[in-house]
Structure 1
Amino acid sequence: MKKFNFLFVLAFLCALVPAMAQTADGSFHGAEATKSRYRAVYQLNTGDTSIIHHALANIQNSLNDPRLKGKLDIELVVYGGAFAVYKKDKPLFEKEIQNLQKQGVILAMCENTMKMRKISRDELFPFVSYVPTANGELIIRQQDGWAIIRP
């Protein structure tokens, strides 16, 4: 039993030392971006303006991350109450989303939400893209290896 306890403590310490070494001298700077491409889909389904602003800021932060520069594909999938982000008559987010689109972000709207809420394409910004269902888009993207991010 003493041998087992000794081995357990030794294994614990061996696991702990590398973790401590990463932060003790301040040398840890996050994960390295070793792949040629990274893909993330942000899902947004609330009309809460603070959450919408937070989500858009998160996307911009990802685009600004120096480790991901030139390696990042992003899609914003909007459904449910979040449809307001793409409405022409509420241009509160227009500049932010246009800026994201100019940086290559795919701006997708759920057509199922549009049917349920009786929203026409004419009510949305002309630069918005469409997907049949947000859930279907998220399922497909996840199975294709995209990170799913929900603010």
Structure 2
Amino acid sequence: MKKVIFALLLFFGLSNALFAHDGPVSEGVVVQANGNDAADFKRALILASNMHEVLTKAKFEIVVYGPSVKLLTAFSNEVPLIQKVQSEGIKVIACGRSLKSEHLKDSDLAPNITVVPFGAVHIVNRQKQGWQYIKP
């Protein structure tokens, strides 16, 4: 009887190892950044970067809306961190509505920032596509 139990434990242990993978659980991860200060913004970028180290096959997007879009301008102190995550393949996205409400234009943004018409709607659409949603 002990041999049978041992064999079953061994089988299930090996089968978990054989079928386990460290790939993404979905196609992508969308991270929301809409806090009130630079610390919230940095937290979102760092979280996405850290997760990307583990989920290397997943796509990552950081969607920035609300007052945080001001941190995406070309003269922001956050440009080096933005460029770092972009160099890792993480897409940084600005909400067009938030840009208007903050009196900013697309041309005010740091390089390679994508603008979508409505950041929150972009997040909802990504979730419909099976992406995971994170709000740090």
For normalisation by structure 2, the TM-score amounts to 0.77
Aligned to 1:101: 86
Aligned to 1:64: 53
Which one has a bigger Cα radius of gyration?
1
35 and 63 in structure 1: CA distance in 2 versus 1, 3 angstrom threshold: closer
Establish whether residue 73 from structure 1 lines up as the match of residue 59 from structure 2: yes
119 and 34 in structure 1: CA distance in 2 versus 1, 3 angstrom threshold: closer
Cα root mean square deviation, aligned:
1.9
Secondary structure of 2:104's partner?
Answer: coil
Aligned residues: 117
Q: In 2, distance between residues paired with 1:81 and 1:35? A: 31
Establish whether residue 49 from structure 1 lines up as the match of residue 38 from structure 2: yes
Counterpart among 79, 83, 87 of residue 73 in structure 2: 87
Q: Which runs of 5+ in 2 are unaligned?
A: 1-19
Q: Which runs of 5+ in 1 are unaligned?
A: 1-30
Q: Deviations over 1:36-67 (max 9, x none)?
A: 864100011123122122111111111222xx
Q: In 1, distance between residues paired with 2:29 and 2:78? A: 21
The question of whether the paired residues in 1 share the 8 Å contact of 2:29 and 2:132 is answered with yes
Q: What is the CA-CA distance between 1:141 and the residue it aligns to? A: 0.2
Establish whether residue 110 from structure 1 lines up as the match of residue 95 from structure 2: yes
Q: In 2, distance between residues paired with 1:108 and 1:35? A: 21
35 and 72 in structure 1: CA distance in 2 versus 1, 3 angstrom threshold: closer
Q: In 2, distance between residues paired with 1:57 and 1:35? A: 18
89 and 148 in structure 1: CA distance in 2 versus 1, 3 angstrom threshold: same
Q: Deviations over 1:63-116 (max 9, x none)?
A: 222xx22x11000100001112211222x2111111111111111110011122
Q: In 2, distance between residues paired with 1:54 and 1:139? A: 21
The question of whether the paired residues in 2 share the 8 Å contact of 1:109 and 1:131 is answered with yes
119 and 139 in structure 1: CA distance in 2 versus 1, 3 angstrom threshold: same
For normalisation by structure 1, the TM-score amounts to 0.70
